[in-house]
Structure 1
Amino acid sequence: MAGVGITAAIGFVFALSSLGNTLIPPEVSSPEIFNNDDGGAGPTVFATATQALKKFSSVDELKSYLLSVEANRGELETAARSFFGGSSISRGDVVNPTVTDQGTGLESLQSSAPPAPSSADAPRLAVIESGDKDYSTTNVQVQGVDEPDFLKNDGKYVYILSGDRLTIVDAYPPENATIAVKIALDIQQGQYLQNMFLNNDTLVIFYQEYSRDFVIQQYDFAPQPISRPNTHALLLDVSDRENPQVLHNYKVSGNYNNARMIGDQVYLITTSDLYDYRNPILPLVSESSSTIVRPDIYYFDNPDLYYTFNTVTSIDITADEGENAVNSTTFLMNPASTLYASEDNIYIAYQKNHPYYYYQSHSKDRFFEALVPLLPQNVQQEIREIEGNSDLTPSEKWDRVSELLQDTYNHMPESEKRRLFEEIRQALADYDERIAKETQITVIHKIAIGPEGISYSSRGEVPGRLLNQFSMDEHGDRFRVATTSEFYSPYRGSTMYNNVYVLDEAMKIVGKLEEIARGESIYSSRFMDDRLYLVTFQRIDPFFVIDLSSDAPKVLGELKLPGYSNYLHPYDENHVISIGKETKENQYGGIETLGIKLVLFNVSDVNNPAVVDVYEIGSSGTDSEVLYDHKALLFDRSKNVLSIPVSIYPDYAGPRYTEDGRYIEPKVWRGFYVFGVNPEAGFMLKGIVEHLNDTGDYYYIYGTQGSRSFYIADVLYTVSLNNLIKMNDLQSLNKINQLEIGPSGSIIKSPQLEDDTK
């Protein structure tokens, strides 16, 4: 069975040979399960210095490659141990793949990227003019790159996904707000509509299904059923809001990972297991049970021990019937984890994992590399002779080494033994830290996108792990990354610190700043032009201003205050908004988390960042979706509005029970806090919009995904988990109207949506 990514040594490749079949035989129908007729182990492993990107030219070549992985797994694990023992990644050296042109049709992206638009002068929340009124859209990371969400609006209509339903609300003017239509789509039971894009009068809705296939597992004899995930991209024409029509229902192999929309192009990333290296199920894109795209599959000649298919599919929303609207390319690598996208590139990042035997051999390696060189020369010689004695078993070798060590220690003066032990502890701790730096690696793949298609560009690696998509940023011809490195040594305890890396167009590290805020981890980050605002936390919240105007990042200023930030948002070039939690030290010396905390920072003096204002909401148990989903934030500087969903347990003092032992649901308040923001005065509470104030018997409705707020003209719309829309004046918050959009109401089963799950 193919599992998730465990990475082998860079610099080992398989000699592949084509067995003559075309990669996608035209006579094979969906789904593809290709059987290996020869059952051979495939080519052997040999050393190479390249990391070229190559394309499989046949099904047999793919199977041969995968079988080589199985047959040479032991050698690859040995190679991985050897490579990671001497990796130079921690010194900033990155080996990059070379894109070959040996008939792959893949070209390297060589041209310089245009200067990035200023991110500080305008908020990420897009504001669109529609006739004589403006309206807000989804809060995104990069201007011009839309992100999918379960709620979209066009300045008059609001589109909401909930469970298997699409609800379209005629929302403006608010006094006459009504449900235009509610459609329940015939999707697979147990699944729900996940999120969508809105492009003029077209919705692109994503949802998953699971189809059943059969494979014969290795060394078994009978086909076994497997549940294979597929992701649907449903294009819905909503020009007639009361009668939406299905334009296309594309089915792409794999689990939904993420998506972006740039102009009229939608980019969908899916990941799928191979299931069986002898019978890999290849990705495809289909519609109405007919295959329309069979993606080319690319691989790197530094093989991984285990693989998944990562498929990038582009959909041209405006393509006419008969045009080639869908393109798709698959990369054989670890499963995508974190996604960042600019207007020109998609960056797929994941944590590099290592083979089981790498960790198994770690103790032995560190013993010989870190400890043995500190022993007396004669003892070192004897240990190596014992290790080189092929007549002894591993346990017999260690018995002799252990006796030798004990005898050596017993004949040492106590002071000399204490000194030696301290040197050994320091050497082992240094070794553990060095190995941790070299093995805790984030891999980032850069893939060029645009109307001309999808093409692989380059690959980079940086030490540490990412927090989320805001840990990455493209600016001009540079790519910036913030990571946290964390590891444990029994001789030094837990070690944690943070890093910033600058990569060039080829994804090679050209600048770095390491070991920021030792003992703490990144809680939030925001790249804004030539600066990075970084918040770390362990017991207190340092807010860092980091200069990125050159390839040598440096800390300009730092401010410490209680609590922490989960999300940073630009107000303007001199002010940053932080949304997080307040904390305090409890009676036991630990840290207690309290309520929501909003902070406005003034960074006009980059060397001395200052707090303009702090606003706290609730106490322990208070929560906001903005803390883990940036799309829940509404902020617009020109409208002077900041709105966040909030949940408060106002009377919560621990769990309560009736006399007969039944649990008493605490009272919960759910709604929105709405502020104005002034760079001199800070936060001014305009008011609150209540959506729920009750105890007990409140349950999430199946498929509901969260709370959102947006505006159309001068009306604030707030949408809550219980499918209630409230409409208030944007400035005064005076109530205008409200609309229930829950499970009741007219539901139309869409006859155009075919059941493509068979």
Structure 2
Amino acid sequence: MKRKAAGLLATVIVLCAMPLLFPAGTLHEPTVTAAAEKDGLPLVGSYGQLKKLLKATEYNYAIAESALSMPTAAPMSKAVADNAAAGASRDFSTTNTQVQGVDEADIVKTDGTYLYQSTNREVRIVKAYPATEMHVVSRIGYENGLFTPLEMFVDDRRLIVIGQANESVEMAPLPASKRGIPYYQNNQLVKAFVYDIADKAHPRLIRQLDVEGQYLSSRKIGGSLYLTANRYIDTYRILQENNELPGPAYRDSASGDKFLTVPYDDIRYFPENVQPSYLMVAGVNLDDPKQKMSLSAYLGAGENIYASPTSLYVAVTEQKVLPTKMKQGESIAPSFTPPPMQTDTTIYRFGMNKGEVTYAAKGSVPGRILNQFSMDEYDGYFRLATTSGNIWRTDENTSQNNVYVLDSKLDLHGKLEGVAPTERIYSVRFMGKRAYMVTFRNVDPLFVLDLSKPAAPRILGALKIPGYSDYLHPYDENHIIGFGKEAESDKDRAYYQGMKIALFDVSDVSKPKEKFKTVIGDRGTDSELLYNHKALLFSKEKELLAFPVTVFELTEEQKQSPDIRDYGHFTFQGAYVYHLDLAKGFTLTDKITHLSQEDLNKAGEGWYENSKNIKRILTIDRTLYTVSDDILKTQQLDGSKAGRTLTLTK
């Protein structure tokens, strides 16, 4: 998420769309009796039981909102070249993923000869190598506007396009005894189109998967595809409708062209986190055209996804309002300070095997995670880093940071709590028996953590420097690259400045060092890389580092009267390309833009999303490619600026 607040410590209170539960015994809630359990989770079981669960959830929401308005007492993965599977000798960059062997979908992919690009209207297949023969081979269009491509997977045989659609769907008919009015709904559908790309000029649709809901995330392991989605439940209609409404819908073209619904006696629910939505978890073995899609529905919602080669983990945040303690003789007066919240993260693990997805275990730890990099599986253990409390509180509920180690059953095995009180986690990277964690409030502490003894994680060393890192990327076993923002402090408040890149030396784990750093632009400078790791191109072998960036710089007048709160003015959008080695650090070798002088003249002081904004950078052999929605541009890595420019629009 991009930061737009003037100060990092501005007090902002956000009430998320999560159930706000209360300590046992403090409220009289509607009674819900759990249905029989299946695979360790209770079943919804029936439409009547669903109504009871949603009624209880609706009650909790109402009470929680009331409580919050009451007066309270004042207070290693890689993006490096691999050999092409088709036997070609050239190498090419791949999507920067979290876990080796677990592919992640992206908007641009390459197989070493062709480049595949997803825009919001079409998917393009481009002959990219050699650059002298670069041209658009084919386009897969979705002109009706009902489907928006989001991202893709590519292998040597298939192109898999995943996107979102709005589509009016008639559900499978219910038994006459349960049927009410015909049930049509303008459904939000996650669609996956699978194309045979043996003939690049004529990609052939061979399978279509539809799962009702909003796209959450996906992974591809070999020939198996796994999808997750959140499907909103119309609680009001369910509670008011006398006749039974169908469950969530899905369709697999391998089984026919009709939409089916998940029966209520097959829907499970997360007892700690009942929400008015379904988490949909789907898997399919694309290598077996006859194998049907595996689909499970859970009353609840997923927030962050982590996947190892054999397990899928879904993280869900749970919040409880803690009782407010009153001092003797203290009167209740209106206050803008909300009551303290207890936040926990519940983890659900699913086994994955050739497209089959099965529920395996659940566990819970205090605090909330930041993103998928807060989670990791290693040597039979699941590790995660959380922040509990809030940085704006000054009482016992102030923030602190923690690392937990869970066993294969997701039971607690080891923990490290209370790290960097009053700060929160900005980035985490687990690397084998070590972990690196960045917290921030006024300065950036980089913590080096020892996880070699899972029962007793500990801090090995820490480094405090200005700024923070939003994303950490391994360079080698003794060096890690941080991407984030520089920061300057004014009294007790820190303000982020330009984009900062740092190379940390952790050879001496007790004394980590910032070996090199460089800062791009001034306040307002931003990059997709800071919230999406797939925007990074890195090759240690090529000593190459590149990413898209939008640069804001202070004017000469602003520099005469400097104010750390001032934003710069737009000066550049494109790719920054660096040479990176351990002797000289970061050497900026090129700045590549797709914007014309006319585009720059129109920009003024600010900038916005533009079809010429560079989004991805990749390599095939010694050719560097920069990709925007409108343009594909090449140049050689040997320093020659000569290259080709291909217009991608019709």
Q: Give TM-score, length-normalised by structure 1.
A: 0.70
1:683 is matched with which residue?
A: 586
* Closer, same or farther: CA 149–71 of 1 in aligned 2, 3 Å: closer
2:130 is matched with which residue?
A: 173
Match of 1:261 among 204, 207, 220: 220
2:72 is matched with which residue?
A: none
Whether the 8 Å CA contact 2:194–2:206 is kept in 1: the answer is yes
* Closer, same or farther: CA 705–272 of 1 in aligned 2, 3 Å: farther
Alignment pair present for 1:310 and 2:279: yes
Deviation at residue 560 of structure 1 after TM alignment: 0.9
Q: Secondary structure at the match of 1:646?
A: strand
Deviation at residue 679 of structure 1 after TM alignment: 2.0
> In 2, Cα distance between the equivalents of 1:470 and 1:71?
35
2:165 is matched with which residue?
A: 209
Whether the 8 Å CA contact 2:385–2:403 is kept in 1: the answer is yes
* Closer, same or farther: CA 8–612 of 1 in aligned 2, 3 Å: closer
The residue type paired with residue 53 of structure 1 is G
Whether the 8 Å CA contact 1:471–1:526 is kept in 2: the answer is yes
Whether the 8 Å CA contact 1:286–1:293 is kept in 2: the answer is no
Deviates more, 1:223-232 or 1:706-715: 223-232
Match of 2:288 among 309, 316, 319: 319
1:53 is matched with which residue?
A: 40
> In 2, Cα distance between the equivalents of 1:294 and 1:65?
15
Alignment pair present for 1:532 and 2:499: no
Deviates more, 1:505-514 or 1:728-737: 728-737
The residue type paired with residue 446 of structure 1 is R
1:648 is matched with which residue?
A: 551
Whether the 8 Å CA contact 1:124–1:142 is kept in 2: the answer is no
> In 2, Cα distance between the equivalents of 1:330 and 1:733?
54
The residue type paired with residue 414 of structure 2 is G
Deviation at residue 154 of structure 1 after TM alignment: 0.5
Deviation at residue 294 of structure 1 after TM alignment: 4.7
> In 1, Cα distance between the equivalents of 2:417 and 2:229?
33
Deviates more, 1:224-233 or 1:308-317: 224-233
> In 1, Cα distance between the equivalents of 2:528 and 2:270?
42
2:78 is matched with which residue?
A: 123
Q: Secondary structure at the match of 1:691?
A: coil
Whether the 8 Å CA contact 1:313–1:328 is kept in 2: the answer is yes
The residue type paired with residue 308 of structure 1 is S
Give the fraction of aligned pairs with identical amino acids, expressed as a percent.
32
1:148 is matched with which residue?
A: 105
Match of 1:290 among 245, 258, 269: 258
Match of 1:136 among 81, 90, 93: 93
Q: Secondary structure at the match of 1:145?
A: coil
Match of 2:356 among 453, 476, 480: 453
Deviation at residue 150 of structure 1 after TM alignment: 0.8
> In 2, Cα distance between the equivalents of 1:298 and 1:668?
53
Task: Report Cα offsets for 1:678-700 as digits up to 9, x if no partner.
Answer: 12332222222232251326764
Q: Secondary structure at the match of 2:47?
A: helix
Query: Which runs of 5 or more structure 2 residues have no equivalent in the other structure?
Result: 1-15, 65-75, 172-179, 332-336, 559-567
> In 2, Cα distance between the equivalents of 1:74 and 1:209?
28
Q: Give the structure, 1 or 2, with the largest relative contact order (CA under 8 Å, sep 6 or more).
A: 1
* Closer, same or farther: CA 125–341 of 1 in aligned 2, 3 Å: farther
2:625 is matched with which residue?
A: 717
List aligned pairs for 1:17-416, cutoff 5 A.
45=32, 53-54=40-41, 56=43, 61-69=45-53, 119=76, 123=78, 125=80, 127-129=82-84, 130-189=87-146, 191-212=147-168, 226-275=185-234, 276=238, 279-287=245-253, 289-291=257-259, 294=262, 297-300=266-269, 302=271, 304-320=273-289, 323-332=290-299, 334-354=300-320, 362-363=323-324, 366-367=325-326, 371=327, 405=329
* Closer, same or farther: CA 696–342 of 1 in aligned 2, 3 Å: same
Match of 2:634 among 706, 727, 741: 727
> In 1, Cα distance between the equivalents of 2:416 and 2:450?
10
The residue type paired with residue 345 of structure 1 is S
Deviation at residue 284 of structure 1 after TM alignment: 2.4
Alignment pair present for 1:482 and 2:385: yes
Task: Report Cα offsets for 1:352-391 as digits up to 9, x if no partner.
Answer: 144xxx67xx34xx45xxx5xxx6xxxxxxxxxxxxxxxx
Whether the 8 Å CA contact 2:294–2:355 is kept in 1: the answer is no
1:32 is matched with which residue?
A: none
1:552 is matched with which residue?
A: 456
Whether the 8 Å CA contact 1:540–1:563 is kept in 2: the answer is yes
The residue type paired with residue 295 of structure 2 is S
Q: Give TM-score, length-normalised by structure 2.
A: 0.81
> In 2, Cα distance between the equivalents of 1:301 and 1:351?
12
> In 1, Cα distance between the equivalents of 2:88 and 2:121?
32
2:401 is matched with which residue?
A: 498
* Closer, same or farther: CA 304–543 of 1 in aligned 2, 3 Å: closer
Whether the 8 Å CA contact 2:614–2:626 is kept in 1: the answer is no
1:659 is matched with which residue?
A: none
> In 2, Cα distance between the equivalents of 1:297 and 1:523?
39
Task: Report Cα offsets for 1:314-364 as digits up to 9, x if no partner.
Answer: 1222223xx1142112222x211111111011111121144xxx67xx34x
2:486 is matched with which residue?
A: 582
* Closer, same or farther: CA 654–242 of 1 in aligned 2, 3 Å: farther
Whether the 8 Å CA contact 2:125–2:137 is kept in 1: the answer is yes
Alignment pair present for 1:696 and 2:602: yes
Match of 2:525 among 610, 622, 627: 622
Q: Secondary structure at the match of 1:626?
A: helix
Whether the 8 Å CA contact 2:57–2:276 is kept in 1: the answer is no
1:606 is matched with which residue?
A: 509
Deviates more, 1:46-55 or 1:61-70: 46-55
2:476 is matched with which residue?
A: 572
Name the Cα RMSD after superposition: 3.7
Structure 1 or 2: larger helix share?
A: 1
> In 2, Cα distance between the equivalents of 1:125 and 1:9?
49
Task: Report Cα offsets for 1:638-690 as digits up to 9, x if no partner.
Answer: 111111112123465899xxxxxxxxx96531221111221233222222223
Task: Report Cα offsets for 1:470-512 as digits up to 9, x if no partner.
Answer: 0110102111111111238987387122111111111111111
> In 2, Cα distance between the equivalents of 1:583 and 1:76?
40
Deviation at residue 273 of structure 1 after TM alignment: 2.3
> In 2, Cα distance between the equivalents of 1:261 and 1:483?
27
> In 2, Cα distance between the equivalents of 1:46 and 1:293?
24
The residue type paired with residue 520 of structure 1 is E
Deviation at residue 619 of structure 1 after TM alignment: 1.6
> In 2, Cα distance between the equivalents of 1:600 and 1:708?
22
> In 2, Cα distance between the equivalents of 1:492 and 1:212?
51
Q: Secondary structure at the match of 1:284?
A: strand
> In 2, Cα distance between the equivalents of 1:252 and 1:705?
32
> In 2, Cα distance between the equivalents of 1:235 and 1:575?
40
1:417 is matched with which residue?
A: none
Q: How many residues align?
A: 581
* Closer, same or farther: CA 490–236 of 1 in aligned 2, 3 Å: closer
* Closer, same or farther: CA 77–175 of 1 in aligned 2, 3 Å: closer
Q: Secondary structure at the match of 1:695?
A: helix
Q: Secondary structure at the match of 2:149?
A: coil
* Closer, same or farther: CA 648–305 of 1 in aligned 2, 3 Å: closer
Match of 1:738 among 623, 645, 649: 645
The residue type paired with residue 466 of structure 2 is P
Deviation at residue 283 of structure 1 after TM alignment: 3.2
